[in-house]
Amino acid sequence: AQSVTQPDIHITVSEGASLELRCNYSYGATPYLFWYVQSPGQGLQLLLKYFSGDTLVQGIKGFEAEFKRSQSSFNLRKPSVHWSDAAEYFCAVGVSVGNEKLTFGTGTRLTIIP
Amino acid sequence: NAGVTQTPKFRILKIGQSMTLQCTQDMNHNYMYWYRQDPGMGLKLIYYSVGAGITDKGEVPNGYNVSRSTTEDFPLRLELAAPSQTSVYFCASSYSGTNEKLFFGSGTQLSVL
C-alpha cells in the first residue's frame, strides 16, 4: 500500500519570501501525486497534480511542484508568498485503481508573517 | 455554479443521538466521497459511491451509513453518535473515479458530547 509523509507540521514564512513544503511518498510504481490547499473554514482545493511527463508541474496561484523519483519526493514551491497563502496544505498519493485509494498526508499548516 | 454543498456547517450531538449530514453536487459527477478529518491527521475515506444506487466502504466505515438514490445527493448517516465521531466531515465529488480532481464541500464540524 502507498503512504505519504509531510515532515513539517507547521511552517512560518515572511510575506514575500520563498516557500518549499516537503512531501515524501512510498509506492512501488510511479504514483499519481497531488497537492491540495485548505483555507480556513473551506474545503480542499486542488493546486496541482502529477501523473507523468514533465517532472516540474505548474499549478494555480503561482505554485509549482517537482517530482523527484530518486528521492520519492514531490515538494511544493512558491517563489514569493502572499498573506492569502496562509492555509493548510495536503499532499496526496494515488494509485492506478481509483480515487478511493487516494492517501492524504497529515498536512502542513502555513503561517505568513508581515 | 454551487459545486458541492454540505449542510449543516456545525452540529453538536449527544451520545447516542442520530443525524444525517447532507451533501449535494450540481456538476453531474458520478463519483462521490465522504471523508473525515481529525486534528493532525490526513483525510480518511468513510464511504464512496460510483453512481446512483452503488456505494462501498472506505477505510473507516464503522458507525456510518450512506445511500445514493440520485446522482446529486449522497447523505451520510450517523445512527448512534459516539465521542469518537467528533470530527470535521467533508463530502467530495469527481467526474471520473481514477485520480481525477476532487471537488470538496466546505465541511461539517461535528461534536459528540
pLDDT tens for each residue of A62-105: 999 999 999 999 999 999 999 999 999 999 998 876 777 889 99
Task: Tell if the CB–CB gap between A100 and B58 is shorter than 8 Å.
Answer: yes
Q: Is the pLDDT of residue B19 over 90?
A: yes
Task: Tell if the CB–CB gap between B98 and A96 is shorter than 8 Å.
Answer: yes
Q: Strands B19-25 and B76-78: what pairing?
A: antiparallel
C-alpha cell at B97: 473515479
Q: Measure CB to CB from residue B102 to each of A32, A97, A99 and give the nearest one.
A: A99
- Chain B interface includes A44 (CB < 8 A): yes
What's the whole-number mean pLDDT along residues A10-16?
97
- pLDDT band of B1, cuts 50, 70, 90: low
Q: What is the pLDDT of residue B112?
A: 96
**Which DSSP letter does residue B73 get?**
B
Do A82 and A112 meet the contact criterion of CB atoms below 8 Å apart? Answer: yes
Q: Is the pLDDT of residue A22 over 70?
A: yes
Please state, as a whole number, how many other Cβ atoms lie within 10 Å of the Cβ of residue A103: 22
Q: What is the pLDDT of residue A7?
A: 96
Q: Write the pLDDT tens digit of every residue in B26-37.
A: 999 999 999 999
- Chain B interface includes A28 (CB < 8 A): no
What's the whole-number mean pLDDT along residues B63-76?
97
Please list every residue in chain A whose beta carbon sits closer than 8 Å to the beta carbon of residue B43. 44, 90, 104
Q: Is the pLDDT of residue B73 over 90?
A: yes
- Chain B interface includes A40 (CB < 8 A): no
Q: Measure CB to CB from residue A99 to each of B90, B97, B106 and give the nearest one.
A: B97
What's the whole-number mean pLDDT along residues B76-101?
91
Q: Is the pLDDT of residue A37 over 70?
A: yes
Q: What is the pLDDT of residue A60?
A: 95
Q: What is the pLDDT of residue B40?
A: 81
Q: What is the pLDDT of residue A38?
A: 93
Q: Which of A12-21, A44-53, A101-110 has the highest mean pLDDT?
A: A12-21
Average pLDDT of the residues of chain A: 93
